[in-house]
């Protein structure tokens, strides 16, 4: 498994140690389970991982708790021997596909309003036409109501429902914007505290 980091790293003093800890979970001889236990060594994705997101405490997936579930995105065709197109998740010692995945590289993952958001360079997710941005509701992929016109390189959760998204796009915002996962709308960035989380 290869792991690649992309982008500008002004946030590295805080986020890099957290990201490295997550990478260790996926690469050590005895990776951690989502519930804090330990499992024997397993193999990871067979290609490059660009994005990792862990479902936060209180996260709900399809009606049940999934806090601690680890999603990975990148450029791969399987994870732990399980067929998975560019996005997969790891939970309780097992790898799982996320539907039929995407038809291109996933550079970024984010969690908002109890859904998984994927960004990158792809035109389909789960067989549905999308434009580099897709949402997984734990049973199917779909295109957000409002999407971008270029490649998404990064997604960061901002409160429980907002996603700070960056990339090479000029619409609906230019290069970086805030996506409201509850209202499916975009706004220019205001990097102050989230007022409505």
Q: How far apart are the first and last CA of the chain?
A: 35
> In tens digits, what is the pLDDT along the chain, a chain of 197 residues?
555 545 544 444 444 444 544 554 454 444 555 566 555 556 899 999 999 999 998 889 888 899 999 999 999 999 999 999 999 999 988 999 999 999 999 999 999 989 999 999 999 999 999 999 999 999 999 999 888 999 999 999 888 889 999 999 988 888 899 999 887 788 887 654 443 32
CA 193, 147, 160, 87 dihedral sign is negative
In this prediction the pTM is 0.77
Cα three-residue angle 139-103-161, rounded to 5 degrees: 45
- Strand-pair category, 115-121 with 105-112: antiparallel
């Amino acid at each position: 498994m290869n792991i690649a980091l992309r982008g500008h790293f002004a946030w590295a003093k805080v986020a890099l140690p957290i990201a490295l800890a997550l990478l260790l979970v996926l690469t050590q001889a005895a990776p951690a389970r989502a519930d804090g236990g330990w499992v024997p060594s397993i193999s990871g994705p067979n290609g490059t991982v660009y994005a990792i997101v862990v479902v936060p405490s209180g996260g709900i997936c399809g009606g049940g708790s999934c806090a601690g579930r680890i999603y990975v995105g990148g450029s791969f065709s399987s994870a732990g021997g399980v067929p998975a197109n560019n996005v997969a998740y790891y939970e309780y010692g097992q790898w799982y596909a996320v539907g039929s995945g995407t038809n291109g590289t996933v550079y970024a993952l984010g969690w908002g309003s109890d859904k998984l958001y994927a960004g990158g360079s792809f035109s389909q997710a789960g067989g549905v036409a999308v434009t580099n941005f897709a949402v997984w509701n734990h049973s199917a992929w779909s295109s957000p109501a409002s999407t971008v016109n270029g490649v998404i390189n990064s997604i960061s959760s901002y409160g429980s429902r907002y996603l700070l998204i960056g990339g090479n796009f000029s619409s609906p915002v230019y290069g970086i914007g805030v996506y409201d996962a509850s209202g499916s709308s975009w706004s220019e960035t205001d990097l102050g505290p989230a007022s409505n989380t």
